[in-house]
């Protein structure tokens, strides 16, 4: 039989091309629901969840997770940035944690935090734009691609089928990691994610289409076709509005402080902090975003109807060319927000928060992971900061995570590795794709058959994995 030249017969291309045709013939009337989900590649329903936090600007991994056992990490190489052992947090006798990350020790002590060093990819460009896209599109061979690896996972695994709000991001612009032919929800401002007009026009717009489509059912399989319609807009805004995020203020059971300091009223007091507050007001936007990510996980039910499975946000400002600081300063402030936020996710998703809503715990089903496009130069520059480099660190936390330190001990950190790339940069040991494919496969339940679609050419790369998920 003759083959059609150039035919791309992947499941994703088939679904994209056939979506409207299937809708037209009413596919749900031809086949039973479970068979359709199997045909679309989803298999049995999976209740696992993933939250990502992109640390934009290039986080200095050498000061976030300090290789204290390496003599090259020294005041000679980092005169204003060096953090001595007495001022940092020991993890394994070799690696130490920046003191601003102290809130992570609770998760680490519970065995639910993986601290991964020397992560990245070979021959990175050290361009913010290219390397951020590469971390998000999952393909170093094509840094200009704007299709995300999480998007490909969602579509290839049919995670979005039959789900009202399967994935969302909370940041100024939709991230590349979730971009593709279908648009997933991005909440640019949690406080104004609604119709832009005030009443009475707002109410008129909100209700004009509602009665027309009240009696329609079974629309979710045709999400891609409905994304840009008023039908989907009403559905999305109704779901988001039902979360009532402005009135949700879960508290730390030990201190009574708000887990998500999003305003002066919720910012925990600290006499040693500026203006008597622990966090600067500039942190509120990050905590608002993280709060929505947490709510999306907690509001997801186990029926796969209201099942948000992917949520993410960003924390910017890590491009510390100038006055980076050591135990205090720009990086320290950002790391303190990150650590408090990740601990807050741990508390609230595990069901330990003081919260009248009493959400069911989902920490055991959730992984929270950080990304950053590259690390910083191993030597301090002349502006008391660091420049663009290669390898850095990341954090993965969750109930299925095998906690501990990876790639930062005597066996994985040989002498000279701090300058192992071009004589200036920390040498990468683990490709970021191996880390995230482990999470997708072993935590999210992705089929091995989609590995090369999610991360092009993955099966032929021979990347060493770490065993992060138990």
Structure confidence at residue 455 (pLDDT): 98
pLDDT band at 301 (very low <50, low <70, confident <90, very high): confident
Length of the chain: 470
Domains in the chain: boundaries? 49-461
> Nearest CA to 413 among 428, 398, 434, 397?
428
Q: Are 467 and 435 in contact (CB under 8 A)?
A: no
Q: How far does the chain reach from its first CA to its final CA, in angstroms?
A: 46
State how far the Cα of 14 lies from the Cα of 323, in Å rounded to an integer.
52
Average pLDDT over residues 343-356: 98
Residue 184 CB-density burial (10 A; 0-12 exposed, 13-18 middle, 19+ buried): buried
State how far the Cα of 155 lies from the Cα of 158, in Å rounded to an integer.
5
Structure confidence at residue 182 (pLDDT): 86
Q: Which residue carries 């502006």 as its tokens?
A: 383
Tell me the two tokens of residue 230. Answer: 């008023």
Structure confidence at residue 163 (pLDDT): 79
SS3 track for 364-395? HHEEEEEECCCCECCCCCCCCCCCECCCEEEE
pTM of model > 0.95 = no
Average pLDDT over residues 156-176: 90
- At 7-56, the pLDDT tens digits run 333 434 433 333 333 333 333 333 333 334 334 444 444 789 999 999 99
Q: Are 115 and 426 in contact (CB under 8 A)?
A: no
Backbone φ, ψ for residue 269 (5° rounding): -70, 145
Average pLDDT, the chain: 87
54 DSSP 8-state letter: E
Q: Are 298 and 359 in contact (CB under 8 A)?
A: yes
State how far the Cα of 465 lies from the Cα of 396, in Å rounded to an integer.
14
Q: Are 54 and 315 in contact (CB under 8 A)?
A: yes
3-state secondary structure of 138: coil
pLDDT band at 212 (very low <50, low <70, confident <90, very high): low
């Amino acid at each position: 039989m003759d083959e059609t030249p150039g035919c791309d017969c992947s499941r994703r291309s088939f679904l994209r091309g056939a979506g409207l045709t299937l809708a037209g013939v009413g596919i749900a009337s031809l086949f039973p629901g479970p068979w359709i989900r199997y045909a679309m590649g989803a298999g049995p329903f999976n209740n696992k969840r993933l939250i990502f936090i992109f640390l934009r600007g290039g986080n200095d991994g050498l000061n976030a997770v300090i290789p204290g056992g390496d003599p090259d990490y020294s005041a000679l190489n980092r005169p204003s940035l060096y953090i001595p052992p007495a001022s940092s947090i020991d993890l394994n006798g070799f690696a130490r944690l920046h003191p601003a990350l102290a809130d992570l020790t609770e998760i680490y002590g519970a065995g639910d935090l993986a601290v991964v060093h020397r992560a990245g990819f070979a021959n990175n460009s050290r361009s913010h734009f290219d390397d951020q896209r590469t971390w998000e599109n999952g393909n170093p061979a094509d840094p200009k691609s704007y299709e995300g690896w999480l998007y490909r996972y969602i579509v290839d695994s049919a995670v979005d089928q039959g789900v009202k709000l399967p994935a969302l991001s909370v940041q100024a612009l939709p991230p590349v990691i979730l971009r593709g032919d279908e648009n997933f929800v991005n909440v640019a401002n949690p406080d104004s994610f609604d119709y832009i007009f005030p009443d009475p026009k707002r109410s008129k717009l909100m209700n004009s289409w509602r009665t027309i489509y009240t009696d329609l059912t079974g629309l979710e399989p045709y999400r891609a076709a409905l994304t840009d319609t008023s039908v989907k807009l009403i559905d999305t805004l109704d779901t988001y509005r039902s979360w009532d995020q402005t009135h949700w203020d879960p508290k730390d059971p030990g201190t009574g402080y708000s887990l998500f300091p999003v305003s002066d009223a919720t910012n925990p007091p600290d006499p040693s902090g500026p203006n008597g507050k622990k966090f600067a007001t500039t942190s509120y936007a990050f905590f608002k975003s993280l709060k929505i990510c947490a709510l999306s996980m907690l509001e997801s039910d186990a029926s796969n109807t209201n099942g948000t499975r992917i949520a993410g946000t960003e924390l910017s400002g890590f491009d510390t060319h100038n006055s980076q600081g050591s135990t205090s300063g720009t990086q320290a402030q950002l790391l303190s927000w990150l650590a408090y936020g990740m601990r807050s996710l741990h508390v609230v998703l595990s069901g330990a928060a003081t919260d009248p809503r009493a959400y069911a715990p989902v920490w055991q089903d959730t992984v929270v992971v950080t990304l950053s496009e590259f690390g910083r130069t191993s030597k301090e520059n002349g502006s008391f900061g660091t420049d663009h480099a290669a390898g850095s660190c990341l954090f993965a936390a969750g109930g299925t995570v095998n906690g501990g330190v990876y790639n930062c001990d005597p066996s994985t950190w040989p002498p000279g590795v701090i300058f192992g790339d071009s004589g200036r940069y920390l040498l990468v040991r683990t490709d970021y794709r191996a880390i995230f494919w482990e999470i997708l496969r072993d935590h999210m339940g992705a089929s091995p058959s989609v590995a090369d679609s999610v991360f092009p050419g993955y099966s032929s790369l021979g990347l060493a994995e770490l065993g992060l998920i138990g």
